[in-house]
Amino acid sequence: MRFERAEVTSPATIANFGPGFDSFGLCMESPVDRIRIRAAGDGARSVKVEGGHTLPEEPEENCSSHAASRLAELSGRDDEGFDMTVVKGMKPGSGIGSSAASSVGGALAMAAILGVDDRQLVLEAAAMGEELVSGTKHYDNVAAALYGGFTAVSDPRSNRILRLKPPDFSIVVLLPDVAVETRKARAVLPSEIPIEDAVYNMSLASGLIDAMARKDIAGVCAHLDDRLSVPYRKALVPGYDSVKEQALKSGALGVSLAGSGPAIFAITSESYAPEVRTAMVRALSESSGMESESFVTVPGSGARVENVD
């Protein structure tokens, strides 16, 4: 071990971001998970979860500690044992990349105490944490949480990540009071899709990346549609169509499902954000009777090592 302890923050993310199923991700400034690690030196591992959420505390069943151990292995080192505390800042199963935030945080914290400066290794280890929770190794949430801004897996053969700085906009996030496990939300997807739907998403994805690179907010939002996952998953989120309609009527420029849901996000300007938020909360409650939590944030710059010594 090069260092004794480290503290890392790792943010919530919006995976898929419209047409980019399993590829696109947008990092949010908040909420964040806070991961603390202390080298134990005796080979024993422990993990404790704080923040009012119940998650596994067996080191190989918790995605943060699992990702930390994988990071040590991938870098050819022994983790030598550690004590980890995960302070959850976000609700698991809500669609805003909770397991990715914790996995990136765990891997980055281990990289910090080992003195490993290789973000691609952190990405790989974090994807293994994600796989533990969801059953598949998708990189969209972990890439956005690690690198910040807008990310796309631009080559799935090498897991190369394209990174773009988004323009300034507000993000309104609605968290309906229902948990949707990613594993189950993936099970509702068809194993085959019509070729015209693949072409539709591929075309919109190209347009969205072009608009993002030009920092054209209206252009980004005009391409936020999807035929690969949202049509199959929205049944898991009662009130989705009504929330989308009311958000757009109140000043949102684009709306979609965040990751595998149930979170719904809207892109808008700072001045319209409060109105859009109120409209989304009300539309959900009136259409489905469901309670929700909601927040407004902006694009974020990714996971950070807050201190290491």
List residues binding ligand HSE (CB under 6 A): 15-16, 21-22, 138, 140-141, 182, 185-186, 229, 259-260
**Which C-beta is closer to ligand HSE: that of 22 or that of 124?**
22
- Rounded to 10 degrees, the C-alpha dihedral 203/209/214/218 comes to 70
3-class DSSP state of 162: strand
| Residue 95: closest CA among 20, 176, 164, 201 | 176
How many Å apart are CA 104 and CA 119, to the nearest integer? 10
Min. distance of Cβ 119 from ligand HSE in angstroms? Answer: 20
How many Å apart are CA 228 and CA 96, to the nearest integer? 19
**Which C-beta is closer to ligand HSE: that of 182 or that of 268?**
182
Min. distance of Cβ 158 from ligand HSE in angstroms? Answer: 19
Min. distance of Cβ 109 from ligand HSE in angstroms? Answer: 22
Min. distance of Cβ 23 from ligand HSE in angstroms? Answer: 8
**Which C-beta is closer to ligand HSE: that of 39 or that of 209?**
209
Residue with tokens 């069943």: 61
**Which C-beta is closer to ligand HSE: that of 10 or that of 182?**
182
| Residue 164: closest CA among 202, 224, 212 | 212
* Residue with the CB atom nearest ligand HSE in the bound state: 259
Residue with tokens 């935030």: 101
**Which C-beta is closer to ligand HSE: that of 84 or that of 180?**
180
Min. distance of Cβ 59 from ligand HSE in angstroms? Answer: 23
Give 299's DSSP letter: B
Min. distance of Cβ 14 from ligand HSE in angstroms? Answer: 9
**Which C-beta is closer to ligand HSE: that of 19 or that of 299?**
19
- Beta strands 45-50; 82-87: pairing state: parallel
How many Å apart are CA 184 and CA 245, to the nearest integer? 26
Q: Cβ distance 36 to 112 under 8 Å? A: no
> For 178, phi and psi rounded to 5 degrees?
-150, 140
**Which C-beta is closer to ligand HSE: that of 1 or that of 143?**
143
How many Å apart are CA 58 and CA 29, to the nearest integer? 29
CA distances (Å), 153 to each of 9, 16, 24, 26, 150, in order? Answer: 23, 11, 7, 12, 11
Min. distance of Cβ 159 from ligand HSE in angstroms? Answer: 14
How many residues can be counted in the chain? 309
Min. distance of Cβ 22 from ligand HSE in angstroms? Answer: 4
How many Å apart are CA 266 and CA 277, to the nearest integer? 9
**Which C-beta is closer to ligand HSE: that of 21 or that of 169?**
21
